[in-house]
Structure 1
Amino acid sequence: MEANTSVSSMIMYEDESVDVRYVNGAQLQLSPCGSEFLLVKEAAPEPALHPLQPRETVRQRTRFTISTYKELLVAALAFRNRYASRPYLPEELIPTEHKQSCFSLGSDVTWPEFSSCEAELGPGGETVVRSEEGRAALMLSPSGEDFTVAFTCRLSQSQNPAAKRGGKNQSCRSTVSSPLVISPSQSKSTTVVQHHSCSGAAPAWHYPLSLARRQRTTHLSKSEDVGGYVSDTRSEERRSCLPRALALTCPAPHWHRWKSKRPLAEKEESDQDLPPELVKVMWCQGVTYRILSGAVAVIEVSPGDGSVIRSNGVLNTYFTHHRPELQSGQVKEILYHLKNLPPDVVGEAYSIFSVVNRASRILSCYTQAKHSLKLPVTPSCLQEAKEWRRFSEPSMPDGTLFSPSLAELHVDATQTLEHQSNLVAGELEKIKRFNFLLENSVLHRSETGRVKLRDPSAEEEEEEEDAPVREFSITEALRRTSRAIQDIEAAVSAATLT
């Protein structure tokens, strides 16, 4: 890329696909799994180029990208892995100094007990707790509203060859017969850093987060015996399952969808050019905006100084700024309203006015997209991979590799088929009732159930008029019934194969 490739903004959508915009007008998109990318290059400088002529695009596998785009991919993956549920870690894009060899690396870590936890105080006022193995650390920000985790993770590996050949057409028995085997030469790891909100933390971080909060309270209260009222927790509850890296190749690349920009937009990534889609995280001008989805969506802003600005639920025109004081360590809460924001101050690292207004616009776009009837609902490759992994990926506790229990998979599959059989039986019962009502509605009966006696000539005349209608209605009903039965049988056959 010859021109300036400074990043203008980075967006992660709810399906965990990533969209990176550059100052020169280029755009880089990552698939939800991170294994493939699409690069739309900057507009050509030739004045003779027609404005509607499509720009040059490059679509490649992420791990096989050429050196020209490698730097862009490394930065985009770092942003993706910081906020995604599972990181994508291809060895080809991990710097040598960030890789370590590992021969026995389990997915679980154990955190210390409340009574024996010795938290550290970071240089910026953050509270740090570490796992007993030293493989994971949690850093609670000075505001106490968000936190960062760093953990050791095995690099992305190839899928099970046997499962990849079989796909969804193989039964559970054939899928689990060939477990994934990783040779020592493939066993490499790296450190993954992720940023989370305390209001939306994953279950894996609940216990260490409670440790950090307690240690922070102890430090602020200047008391040595604050933790005496808290009893120790069982070892099972102190264990966390760390996120594992995604596979090198995506099992559902046909679900990769690329979001095209408006070709005639004059101002790329301006405030009026916010994406009309479900945004999960947006980074712009050094500030991170995160949507916390729920019954009422909330937007949380991390300006980068340890403070957090959050919208107030239903009263989304109000924002609360949780601002820590460096000397005392106490957190000051400042309430803002969109119509009465403080003016900019010379020397401030960021503008409260600009940050809160942009946050409000992002939240409005998210709410409109969520309630829009035109919003396309398309499956994500990560959803497909989750279903595939349910039958093909072996579990790896404590560094040992083995396949899931065949009995567990058999019971799970049997319960699924039984549930589908009950649904089919219910639909067939509805069809039977429909046919019974249709057949018995042909006769004109009285309330006592006897056939009414009518004038023969009038009855003959009426039957001649109603006969075509009745014949058409019955034929159409039978045709629809037959089609419904065929669809149900096809669904049952497909479910049996999966």
Structure 2
Amino acid sequence: METSVSDSLMIMYEDESVDVRYGNGAQLQMSPCGCEFTMVKPKDPSGHPLQPTERIRQRTRFTISAYKEFMVAALEFRNKYASRPYLPEELIPADQKQPFVSIDSDVQWPKWSSCAAELGPGGKTIIRSEEGRAALMLSASGEEFSVEFRCSLSQTRIQRCSMQGFSRDSDSSPGNQHQQQLVRNLICQASNVEDKETKPEEMYQSTTVVQHHSCCAVDPTWCYPLSLARHLWTARLSKAKEIRTVETSNNTQEHESINITISITERRSHLPQALPLTCPSPHWHRWTVKDGLVEHPDQDLPTELLKVMWCQGVTYRILSGTVPVIEVSPGDGSVMRSNCVLNNYFTHHKPELRSGQVKEVTYHLNNLPPDVPGQLYSVCSIVSRASRILACYNEAKQSLKLPATPSCLQEGRRSSQPARMEEHLLNLVSFEQHLNVTQTLENRSDLVAAELEKIKRFNFLLENNHLITSDKGCGKLESSSPQDVNHEPVNEDCIADALQKTFKAIQDIDALISAATLT
């Protein structure tokens, strides 16, 4: 199939399925798990008009050499924005594979007091984990970031179980060596490899995964390292501003001396793990491939709920929420973002490397700047296309009356959700007392409502205290004798104790409100 990967339109939908459309009319659609794909070949110009287009459906890891280049490009795009990567060994170049050292997916980030940032290319602020297995790179605009980490390749269930056995028995004691030998034998029997045993470093390999994220939608995994990067990024901007304005104040020194105490648990992050080689729910794979696709992507914008769209080197990302927002990354380190309800306005965050500052420019759809010869991209074209994508997204969201068909990834997420929620709960609750990186206002509202309900009940008891202490009311209690009632009267000590509990509840509410407004 003669076409160029660069001459394409790549789309990821909210269910993490991928749709790639090429300039010659071909189309590739990948399942949310990445295990399977459908390819529609372009129509033959010399063929009969009624001749149907040729469709091919294959397993991703077993794709033929004619489609391998397209699979690699589609998987690279998918893994950048998906929650979990799909990493089949057959499509990973040999120079990018390394034997795994540890299957432990937890990494620990440095302390605030001892953290030192690297200044990367393009003004990026780089934070590395203590083990060196993960790195976070904040863009010069401070509006988006990327993460880079080592991840084991996708495996079958048998390989995962055996790898867990190697991890548990990693020491060199005689008993553990015997257990490792048993595990190797089981692996060889399951794989029909009886002539020789496969070494663990040959069977289990890892590669580097790069993911792109928006600072307006941060996964709990990256909250703490992002806070480190933003702290150092802000300090560098303050220092650059002081140097530029030649001020002799001590604001920078005071800012850099801030030290926040974070526990070891809060400094740990659970890295995303690769999806399995085979999908547990292939019956949920659905294909919406259309015939006769137009050549120009602007005339065929998707009508489903999309997550990310890449076109002509520009990335468009939808930040879903009560009011959807579209974020644009032109590729030069700057970020354009629509302004919530006023979606006719876009704010362009443009970093200036020489001065170290970030310039904000506001555009209106009816008054976009004209194109200038020699500029890297057309602001008018990018903002206009972003507005059309956002309009299509809002229209598709309003037209969805029935719940969406479940994807093959939801079953795996449903089984792992309790463990992840329990893991991230402590990190979020304690960490948000220091930084306002993510919002959990709904949980806080429930807690505040519960505390207010306690106060209402206490006030009711105080207002009706005469009913409790009256001898007539006490005498009507069938379950207690008069001696029992008089044994614990409602006195000043009881009221003082209740007032103390109410005061503690009010303090808890003030602490929650302070944590929500802390910047």
Q: Same fold (TM over 0.5)?
A: yes
Match of 1:227 in 2: 256
CA separation of 1:377/1:116 partners in 2, compared to 1, >3 Å: closer, same or farther?
Answer: same
Confirm or deny that 1:260 pairs with 2:260.
no
Instruction: Specify the code of the residue in structure 2 equivalent to 1:49.
Output: H
Match of 1:425 in 2: none
Match of 2:69 in 1: 71
Confirm or deny that 1:24 pairs with 2:51.
no
Number of residue equivalences: 376
C-alpha separation between the residues in 2 aligned to 1:211 and 1:275? 37
Match of 1:309 in 2: 336
Confirm or deny that 1:107 pairs with 2:100.
no
Instruction: Specify the code of the residue in structure 1 equivalent to 2:83.
Output: S
CA separation of 1:323/1:188 partners in 2, compared to 1, >3 Å: closer, same or farther?
Answer: same
Match of 1:204 in 2: 221
CA separation of 1:233/1:252 partners in 2, compared to 1, >3 Å: closer, same or farther?
Answer: same
Match of 1:289 in 2: 316
Cα shift at 1:388: 5.4
C-alpha separation between the residues in 2 aligned to 1:162 and 1:210? 33
Match of 2:206 in 1: 189
* Paired-residue identity, %: 65
Instruction: Report if aligned partners of 2:37, 2:60 keep a CA contact under 8 Å in 1.
Output: yes
Match of 1:327 in 2: 354
C-alpha separation between the residues in 1 aligned to 2:90 and 2:216? 35
Cα shift at 1:219: 1.5
Confirm or deny that 1:9 pairs with 2:9.
yes
Cα shift at 1:306: 0.5
Residues 173-232 of structure 1: CA distance to partner in whole angstroms, max 9, x if unpaired?
xxxxxx999871322100000100000011000000000011111212223552322323
Match of 2:265 in 1: 236
Instruction: Report if aligned partners of 1:5, 1:24 keep a CA contact under 8 Å in 2.
Output: no
C-alpha separation between the residues in 2 aligned to 1:161 and 1:240? 24
Match of 1:42 in 2: 42
1:317-466 equivalences in 2 (<5 Å): 317-373=344-400, 377-387=404-414
C-alpha separation between the residues in 1 aligned to 2:330 and 2:52? 37
Match of 1:251 in 2: 280
Residues 442-498 of structure 1: CA distance to partner in whole angstroms, max 9, x if unpaired?
xxxxxxxxxxxxxxxxxxxxxxxxxxxxxxxxxxxxxxxxxxxxxxxxxxxxxxxxx
Cα shift at 1:389: 5.7
Instruction: Report if aligned partners of 1:35, 1:61 keep a CA contact under 8 Å in 2.
Output: yes
1:165-176 equivalences in 2 (<5 Å): none
Instruction: Report if aligned partners of 2:27, 2:289 keep a CA contact under 8 Å in 1.
Output: no
For the aligned residue pairs, the C-alpha RMSD in angstroms reads: 2.5
C-alpha separation between the residues in 2 aligned to 1:59 and 1:39? 6
CA separation of 1:379/1:215 partners in 2, compared to 1, >3 Å: closer, same or farther?
Answer: same
Residues 134-160 of structure 1: CA distance to partner in whole angstroms, max 9, x if unpaired?
000000000000001100001001024
Where 2:366 maps in the other structure, the secondary structure is coil
CA separation of 1:77/1:373 partners in 2, compared to 1, >3 Å: closer, same or farther?
Answer: closer
C-alpha separation between the residues in 1 aligned to 2:232 and 2:212? 20
Match of 1:495 in 2: none
Where 1:320 maps in the other structure, the secondary structure is strand
C-alpha separation between the residues in 2 aligned to 1:243 and 1:121? 25
C-alpha separation between the residues in 2 aligned to 1:200 and 1:28? 28
Cα shift at 1:90: 0.4
Cα shift at 1:123: 2.2
Instruction: Specify the code of the residue in structure 1 equivalent to 2:73.
Output: A
Residues 374-409 of structure 1: CA distance to partner in whole angstroms, max 9, x if unpaired?
67721100002334567999xxxxxxxxxxxxxxxx
Cα shift at 1:236: 0.5
Match of 1:465 in 2: none
C-alpha separation between the residues in 1 aligned to 2:109 and 2:419? 30
CA separation of 1:290/1:191 partners in 2, compared to 1, >3 Å: closer, same or farther?
Answer: same
Instruction: Specify the code of the residue in structure 1 equivalent to 2:85.
Output: P
Match of 1:141 in 2: 139
Match of 1:83 in 2: 81
C-alpha separation between the residues in 1 aligned to 2:68 and 2:160? 31
Instruction: Report if aligned partners of 1:115, 1:227 keep a CA contact under 8 Å in 2.
Output: no
Match of 1:175 in 2: none
C-alpha separation between the residues in 1 aligned to 2:322 and 2:160? 42
Of 127, 140, 165, 2:125 maps to: 127
Cα shift at 1:283: 0.2
Give the TM-score taking structure 2 as reference length.
0.69
Gaps of 5+ in 2: 162-182, 188-198, 240-251, 421-519
Match of 1:445 in 2: none
C-alpha separation between the residues in 2 aligned to 1:304 and 1:246? 29
Residues 415-462 of structure 1: CA distance to partner in whole angstroms, max 9, x if unpaired?
xxxxxxxxxxxxxxxxxxxxxxxxxxxxxxxxxxxxxxxxxxxxxxxx
Give the TM-score taking structure 1 as reference length.
0.72
Cα shift at 1:93: 0.5
Of 134, 148, 151, 2:149 maps to: 151
